[in-house]
Amino acid sequence: MRVAARRHDGHHRTPAYLKGKHGTVTRVHSSFLNPETHAYGKDGLPEQPLYLVSFPQSNIWPEYGGGAADRLYVDVFEHWLEETE
Amino acid sequence: MHDRGGWPTDAPIDRTEHELADWEILMDSLVGTLGENGTLNVDELRRGIEGMPPSAYETASYYERWLYSVETILTEKGVLAPGELDARLET
Amino acid sequence: MSSHDEHDHDHPHEALTNSEEPAAAARVRALVDLLVEKGVVGRDDVRQRIDWLVSRSPSDGARLVARAWVDPEFRQRLLADTRAAAFELDLDPGPSPVVVALENTEAVHHMVVCTLCSCYPKALLGPPPDWYKDLPYRSRAVSEPRAVLEEFGVQLDDDVELRVVDSTADIRYLVLPRRPSGTERMTEEELAQLVTRDSMIGVATPVVPPTVRT
């Protein structure tokens, strides 16, 4: 999977450092209210599926100085994920 | 400003801790109560904090940010009238 | 409340006035009074939340860990559904709909952060420490976690997989640290004493104090 590289003005929970990066879904959570609308007085529906996505640290930080196997795990909403080959 | 992951920083991690002051416990509990009765949700709280002017965000303490956000959001929703809290503090 | 050593400290952003409290303190109290008068919140509801918050402590999380250490089947249940496992021990897992326990092993070490704000399993650990909420940890935990761990006194071998978990949504993460060796004769209560708050965040590992070793 790839995290969408799009810009989003306004409240959203996809960290900037993650945008455009490639990772793997490791856990399928249930669905939750969409914070992007819920933060502005809307009801947050429809709920959006949430996934725990895992990234090799070297995919995210070009100069990562830690272990080669080190990974970063982040909860990402489905509408921020794009399938890749 | 709030989206901090990977920001370069020379700042060491200051591990000094402090017990929450009464007003901080009160602030936290107020937000929890407002959440429970549907007046203000956590996404709105976060959005309010994220809307702080960057200099204010950096210098405010954690619960001062919460206060800023709650005042902003509740005023936006018409629960508080603009300036109402200031006026009360002056009396 | 859990006890902390420091009371006076020079946090740069707490500008003190003549009293010991920042200006925000009076403002918060006035805000609560105003909202109670308007009927937006009930005074008793606020008090109940205060009581709940001050009763939160890492000893709750430590009980989950100690039970998991002595009871392998409980450990499996804890990993499968942490909220349900908390209820088994009459613990309050908090309002978050999902809590996930992350198991540290010989091969894998977990560390938790919230880069965007301060998400934290406070029902089971008490309120988060300042450093967890402050900007340096939030910046560095994701990009240089091993350096951060070294500052906290944790050295990981190069071949240990370090997993940093950034809590960006409503899921709350709790680290299940490894049981230290030399604890085979300890009771569950004694084991719970070894489990520190920091070890359940993932920036410390439980150790057996020298005086306790037989």
Q: In the prediction, which pLDDT does C79 show?
A: 98
Mean pLDDT of B13-38: 96
Determine the angle formed by the axes of helices C72-80 and C58-70, rounding to 10 degrees. 130
Of B59, B60, B79, the CB nearest to C40: B79
Of B6, B41, B46, the CB nearest to A61: B6
Residue B11 pLDDT greater than 90, yes or no: no
CB distance A53 to A23 below 8 Å: yes
Q: In the prediction, which pLDDT does C12 show?
A: 45
Instruction: Reply yes or no on whether C57 is catalytic.
Output: no
* The CATH fold of domain A2-82: SH3 type barrels. (2.30.30)
Question: How many Å separate Cα A4 from the centre of its chain?
Answer: 8
Mean pLDDT by 10-residue block, N- to C-terminus, for chain A (85 residues)? 95 96 96 96 96 97 93 98 90
Residues of chain B in contact with residue C143, where contact means CB-CB under 8 angstroms, are 5-6
Residue C141 Cα, gap to closest chain B Cα (Å): 8
- Residue contact A16–B77, C-beta within 8 A: no
Residue whose entry in the numeric block shows the structure tokens 């001062």: B64
Question: How many Å separate Cα C98 from the centre of its chain?
Answer: 16
- Kindly report the length of chain B: 91
**How does pLDDT run across B12-21, given as a tens digit for each residue?**
899 999 999 9
**How does pLDDT run across C123-158, given as a tens digit for each residue?**
999 999 999 999 999 999 999 999 999 999 999 999
Q: In the prediction, which pLDDT does C213 show?
A: 53
Residue C161: closest CA among A56, A59, A65, A69: A69
Q: How far apart are the first and last CA of chain B?
A: 35
Residue B39: closest CA among A45, A47, C42: C42
CATH superfamily of B23-28+38-90: Nitrile hydratase, beta subunit (1.10.472.20)
CA distance linking residue B87 with residue C2, whole number of Å: 37
Q: In the prediction, which pLDDT does C212 show?
A: 59
Mean pLDDT by 10-residue block, N- to C-terminus, for chain C (214 residues)? 41 52 95 97 97 97 98 98 98 93 98 96 97 95 96 96 97 97 95 98 91 58
